[in-house]
Chain A
Amino acid sequence: MKNRLRVLRAEFNWTQEELARQLGVSRQTINAIETGKYDPSLPLAFKVARLFGKQIEQIFLFDEAETK
């Protein structure tokens, strides 16, 4: 699943470490999400969306082709 996490983080001028601290996860988890290696759980995706004041689908972009 693609996402706009890196772009949003840059807009807020946060480091991966700062974002990780606010979400209660490790920096490695943020990096894995940003690079598309890991898709977050629904609760974590909601936390990300609330933190940036956006809807989940504005951050995480569902690609139907990936699920086929």
Chain B
Amino acid sequence: MKKTKYPMNSLVLIAALIYFASSVGAAWVLGAFELGAPLRIVVALLPALGFILVVAAHIELFRRSDELQQRILLEVWAYSLATAIFGALALYFLQKAGFLLEWDYFGDVMMPFVFIGWLLGYWNTSRRYL
């Protein structure tokens, strides 16, 4: 296991905060200002850059982890993605039935479910292995 100057979990947290700030910021800017087409595209894609940072931080965390930590991370991501897909599908069917009409799937539903699934997965796998 390689030693880093800063704990890698901090990098993941910082990347997640950047992603969150870029998502909220981009949504606010797009709603508050009348921007031209090229600038609107740039602002709209800012959260994608934040998300790339999150993925890159996780890959780096995975590379620097030992075999048990890697297993935990993989199980946590499996929980996270499964929760997101299940949650989004459940809300989709509720929407089809006439509920929750204002949900924006990726921004409002997917990412919070990814986060909730990540927390649940981390709690469960840590309890099993640590």
* Chain A residues engaging chain B, CB cutoff 8 angstroms: 24-26, 28-29, 31-32, 37-38, 40-41, 44
**B residues near A37, Cβ cutoff 8 Å:** 128-130
The size bracket of the interface on B is: 10 to 19
**Chain B contact residues: helix, strand, loop or mixed:** helix
The answer on a CB contact under 8 Å between B130 and A40 is no
**Complex: how many Å from CA A28 to CA B125?**
13
Stretch of B15-23, B66-74, B104-112 at the chain-chain interface? B66-74
Q: List 14 A-B contacts (CB under 8 A).
A: A24-B66, A26-B1, A26-B65, A26-B68, A28-B68, A28-B69, A29-B66, A29-B67, A29-B68, A31-B130, A32-B130, A37-B128, A38-B68, A41-B67
* Chain B residues engaging chain A, CB cutoff 8 angstroms: 1, 65-69, 71, 128-130
The answer on a CB contact under 8 Å between B67 and A25 is yes
Closest to B71 in A: A38
The answer on a CB contact under 8 Å between A25 and B1 is yes
The listed residue with most B CB atoms (<10 A of its CB), out of A24, A28, A31, A44, is: A28
**A residues near B129, Cβ cutoff 8 Å:** 28, 32, 37-38
The answer on a CB contact under 8 Å between B69 and A26 is yes
**B residues near A24, Cβ cutoff 8 Å:** 1, 66
**Complex: how many Å from CA A41 to CA B69?**
13
The answer on a CB contact under 8 Å between A32 and B68 is yes
**Complex: how many Å from CA A25 to CA B69?**
9
* Nearest CB in chain A: distance from B124 CB, A: 13
The 6 closest A-B pairs by CB, nearest first: A25-B66, A29-B68, A32-B129, A37-B129, A28-B130, A38-B68
